[in-house]
Amino acid sequence: MDERLRKEVANWLEFYREMGIGDLNLQGSESALNNETAQTAPPVLRAPQAPPVDKDSLQKPAETLKARFSAPTLQAAAAKAAPKSLSLFEATPAAPGGEETLEKIREDLGDCHRCRLSSGRKTIVFGQGNPHAEVVFIGEGPGADEDTQGFPFVGRAGKLLNRMIQLVGMKREEVYICNVVKCRPPGNRTPMPDEIEICSPFLMRQIRTIGPRLICCLGAPAVRTVLGIKEGITKIRGNFYDFGDIKALPTVHPAYILRNPREEKLLREDFQKIYDFLQTPQ
């Protein structure tokens, strides 16, 4: 194959790859492109799954790619792919029979035996704090200290959370703290999907009743439950998301900082964002 034909075939291969057509098959060996003495017939390009290509777009491949990756196109694709974070929230109506209160939700929860976690718990850890708080902190599940005392975040992770709350000029009594599940998972393991599915409607009712300005999701399980986002927590932490007319801020769980003390700056940075948010007028 002469040099001119070799370069032309290579250019077309690169063009199709940029167009997103990855399943190209060549009849003949790819090494023939680099063998100037090869006497085989020119390779045949096959793209059986490729969509029809407009002749004009072939004449101007750069413009075609520019159009595909223009800002409006990317924004539309991002909007289409955005997680539907309100699906569970909207599917969890308030209990009938009058105004919803945290006391009513706790009464409906009762001596819960709806999932397997009830068999190993000592105490249901419903939540604690201001029923009209501006900020709701949501963790993963109760630990050993929480299971014994019946309150969320009272162990070592809770002490760190208290310190961070003070950094934003607030007291623990001014915020509301709860977890995705109300009973301690065995060995402090991550709650299973079916356990979260059973317990999370009570969490959604709590959020609806409190009506906070901001939800702070502490750790990946809280982020997945509230926002439906599955990306790693270190990638999305510190960014604000919409949860209806409520803002949500993912950050790392305080227990992560206890295991990695050098990463405390991550928590401090995100709590500084909470402070800045609360300073803005509603």
> What digits encode the pLDDT tens for the residues 34-67?
444 344 344 444 444 444 444 444 444 444 333 4
Class of domain 87-279: alpha beta
- How large is the average pLDDT for residues 4-17? 58
Residue type, 4: R
- How large is the average pLDDT for residues 140-146? 97
Confidence of residue 246 (pLDDT cuts 50, 70, 90): very high
d(CA 199, CA 109): 9
Question: Does residue 219 have a pLDDT over 70?
Answer: yes
- How large is the average pLDDT for residues 62-77? 40
Residue type, 153: F
Confidence of residue 93 (pLDDT cuts 50, 70, 90): low
Question: Does residue 114 have a pLDDT over 50?
Answer: yes
Q: Which phi-psi region, left, alpha or beta, contains residue 262 (left: φ > 0; alpha: ψ -120 to 50)? A: alpha
pLDDT score recorded for residue 99? 84
- How large is the average pLDDT for residues 212-234? 96
Query: CA-based angle 258:259:263, to the nearest 5?
Result: 75
pLDDT score recorded for residue 58? 40
Domain boundaries along the sequence of the chain: 3-81, 87-279
